[in-house]
Amino acid sequence: MTDGAPMLRPGRIGTVELGNRMVRAATSETMATEDGTITPALVDFYRRLAKGGAGLIITGHIYVERRGQYAPFQTGIESDAKVPGWRGLVEAVHADGGTIFAELAHAGSQSVVPGNTPCAPSIVPNAIFATRPEELTPDGIDAVIDAFGQAARRAVEAGFDGIHIHGGNGYLISQFMSPLANTRTDKWGGSAENRGRFLVEVYRAIRAAVGPDFPVTARIGMADPGAGGLTVADSLETVRLLQPEGLNAVEPVYCIMNSYLDNIRPYVGVGAGRALRDWAVERLWKPPSTEAYYRPFAKNIKQACPDLPVILVGGIRTTQIMSEVIGSGDADFVAMARPFVREPDLPKKIIAGRKGMVDCVSCNLCLEHEGQDGLKCWRKTTGDLVEHLRLRYLR
């Protein structure tokens, strides 16, 4: 047993007690039907996660209105008709002892759904896909905020244990926060306070829908990676506003990105020997990324708001780092996305005494298949890898 390791201790987010501090970070499964309804395969997927022992499971991002759908086969919660499907999934997770938060999202200009005309705060081509969005009118902004509130109400009806707002990684909330994507001159643009207003109003609509005691957390884009964009000083202004209004935890990430690889960094902590054992030969000419790459953002939040719980995501790969980031007080929870794709039962193994590095080599094949195939690790077996190559070159 790894007795006493900080990530094994119970934790609390708002009113919810968690058995340990290991969180399955949101990872879009693209396993819904074309209209975003839950499928039996998705229920099985979450059942495996629940059995795997994570203290908290955060769903992949769920669109709150159809125009905000990111990718084909993403899940939606934009209508009451979606509630029964979600209820079945949540009940399956609860039956296996899991705790689950719904990640509510709107892709804005980052939608890659064919035929969709995306919306955004301003007519600025998306930084990753160069998609040209329509500009939201003030009434349109109010309607999107309302859609978040309605979605939160449905999440409560479905039995979720909490809401996680997707406010990072280039999606609509990030587009509002960043001066690179938001050039508005009304109350929704300009100063850091104005750019942060959309997130604050989304939070308020959700809080009003779920009541004061229901856990609400947020992934927040703390800064843009490039020059001239959102700064940590800007984003902390917004975080400082949300804490007294009852936000229960923050998961810091990048805001607007030029590539998904800014957030989903390749080959985290993978040495040459490990790469060769797993046929990840590309790693030999690409340098590994360092572990826990958003830790500086976590420290920024802890300095500004010491009592606000922080969930640290991004390249957490060894039990040593898990212990250290929580033990040092830099974060209260460690969240992992890709490691759970490879090992849904990772927490169970760590609880049983597993130490060292996770099996995932951060090769990002799982990301490559997003929107086309259901989420899985394509490197787990030789058969999966062969199938991946077949789909990549012969589809």
Residue 370 lies near ligand FMN (rule: CB under 6 A): yes
Counting residues that bind ligand FMN (by CB under 6 A) gives: 26
Residue 219 lies near ligand FMN (rule: CB under 6 A): yes
Task: Return the number of the residue (189 or 219) whose C-beta is nearest ligand FMN.
Answer: 219
Among 8, 26, 31, 71, binds ligand FMN (CB under 6 A): 26
Stretch near ligand FMN under the rule CB under 6 A, chosen from 9-17, 26-34, 296-304, 318-326: 26-34
Residue 361 lies near ligand FMN (rule: CB under 6 A): no
For ligand FMN, what does the binding mask look like between residues 27 and 56, x meaning CB under 6 A? xx----------------------------
Residue 314 lies near ligand FMN (rule: CB under 6 A): yes
**Whether residue 70 lies in the annotated active site:** no
Closest separation in Å from C-beta 339 to ligand FMN: 6
Residue 283 lies near ligand FMN (rule: CB under 6 A): no
**Secondary structure in 3-state letters for the chain:** CCCCCHHHCCEEECCEEECCCEEECCCCCCCCCCCCCCCHHHHHHHHHHHHCCCCEEECCCEECCHHHCCCCCCCECCCHHHHHHHHHHHHHHHHCCCCEEEEEECCHHHCCCCCCCCEECCCCCCCCCCCCCEECCHHHHHHHHHHHHHHHHHHHHCCCCEEEEEECCCCHHHHHHCCCCCCCCCCCCCCHHHHHHHHHHHHHHHHHHHCCCCCEEEEEEEECCCCCCCCHHHHHHHHHHHHHHCCCEEEEEECCCCCHHHCCCCCECCCHHHHHHCCCHHHHHCCCECCCCCHHHHHHHHHHCCCCCEEECCCCCEHHHHHHHHHCCCCCEEEECHHHHHCCCHHHHHHCCCCCECCCCCCCHHHHCCCCCCCCCCCCCHHHHHHHHHHHHHC
Residue 266 lies near ligand FMN (rule: CB under 6 A): no
Task: Return the number of the residue (189 or 347) whose C-beta is nearest ligand FMN.
Answer: 347
Stretch near ligand FMN under the rule CB under 6 A, chosen from 31-39, 48-56, 240-248, 334-342: 334-342
Residue from 171, 254, 293, 294 carrying the catalytic annotation:
171
Residues of the shown chain interacting with ligand FMN in the complex, contacts defined by CB under 6 A: 25-28, 60-61, 103, 166, 169, 219, 253, 263-264, 268, 313-316, 336-339, 366-367, 370, 375
As annotated, the active-site residues are 171
